[in-house]
Every structure is written in C-alpha cells, then in structure tokens.
C-alpha cells in the first residue's frame, strides 16, 4: 500500500528518509509529538541539510542474519524545489556489508551531512561541496 504525501503540509518539517525494502520506494517519516510517523512513499524527494545515520547494531544484525532491516537513514527538512542545479550533485551509496557509513558512489570517504539530498527516480544524490558552517566570533 502506497500512502500519498501532502507535500504542502509536510514541507519544512524534520523528515527521516530511508529505502523501503518492501516496495522499493523511499519512505518518509516526520517527527510529530516525539514520534516518527509515516508520511508516505515516493521515488522523488528533496531534503535540506540532511545528516546521515547508520545504526551499528542494526548493521551487525544484517551481516549476522543475512536479512535486511531498516538501520540506515537520513534526517533533514523536507524541501519543495522547482529547479535543481544538478551540476554539483553526486550519487550517494550505502552497503552494510562493505562499510559502516554512507559514501559517494565509487568512493570510500564517509559522508555525514550535505546541503541538499535529492532522490531522482529512486536514486539518491547529494551536493558534494558542503562545508560545515563556521562559527564567527566578533
């Protein structure tokens, strides 16, 4: 069962995104009253300032049991964007069997956060030039 997303209501709220192993789409949950509730499923979405998380206990369970489970996700703010500059986007990748973190496709360097995460036709891309904002002292 696919749940339709009300994009206008959900925009700007903290959103967790992960690949749904049952339907192959991305599942979106939003934090409401300290609980993460399912908003819907999609193959195209944008998150601003995502941070990437991997539960090491969940990853070890996948390796030990050989069965997949949801143990890796990104959290950011749901964005509605009309135009996207794709020149700075690189595909991001995660495989529990080879590394305990997200990385650029074909790379080995950990990716912990980005300025923008875009899912296009169920493939995940992020901006590659993100730099952590520095605190300016005056």
Assigned domain for 132 exists: no
Dump pLDDT digits (tens) for 43-101: 888 999 999 999 999 999 999 999 989 999 999 998 877 666 677 889 999 999 999 99
Distance in angstroms (rounded) separating the CA atoms of residues 135 and 138? 10
Assigned domain for 137 exists: no
Query: In the prediction, which pLDDT does 63 show?
Result: 95
Give the range of the structural domain holding residue 117, as residue numbers without chain letter: 7-127
Please state, for a pLDDT cut of 70, what percent of the chain lies above it.
83
Strand arrangement, sheet containing 123-127: 35-42, 26-32, 14-19, 72-79, 45-54, 116-120, 123-127, 89-93, 103-104
Assigned domain for 134 exists: no
Give the containing element (helix H, strand E) for 47. strand 45-54
Which has more pLDDT, 118 or 85?
118
Assigned domain for 2 exists: no
Residue 33 has pLDDT above 60, yes or no: yes
Assigned domain for 81 exists: yes
The tokens describing 43, both together, are: 């193959």
Assigned domain for 105 exists: yes
Query: In the prediction, which pLDDT does 37 show?
Result: 87
This prediction's pTM: 0.83
How many structural domains comprise the chain? 1
Averaged over 3-8, what is the pLDDT? 63
Distance in angstroms (rounded) separating the CA atoms of residues 49 and 36? 18
CA atoms within 13 A on the CB side of 99: 14
């Amino acid at each position: 069962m696919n749940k339709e997303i009300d994009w206008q209501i959900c925009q700007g709220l903290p959103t967790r995104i992960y690949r749904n192993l049952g339907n192959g789409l991305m599942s979106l949950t939003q934090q409401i009253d300290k609980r993460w509730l399912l908003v819907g499923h999609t193959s195209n979405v944008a998150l601003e300032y995502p941070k990437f998380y991997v539960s090491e206990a969940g990853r070890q369970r996948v390796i030990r049991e050989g069965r997949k489970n949801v143990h890796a996700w990104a959290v950011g703010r749901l964005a509605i964007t009309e135009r996207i500059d794709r020149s700075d986007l690189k595909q991001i990748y995660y495989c529990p069997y080879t590394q305990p973190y997200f990385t650029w496709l074909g790379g080995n360097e950990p990716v912990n956060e980005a300025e923008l995460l875009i899912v296009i036709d169920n493939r995940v891309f992020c901006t590659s030039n993100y730099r952590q904002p520095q605190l300016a002292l005056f």
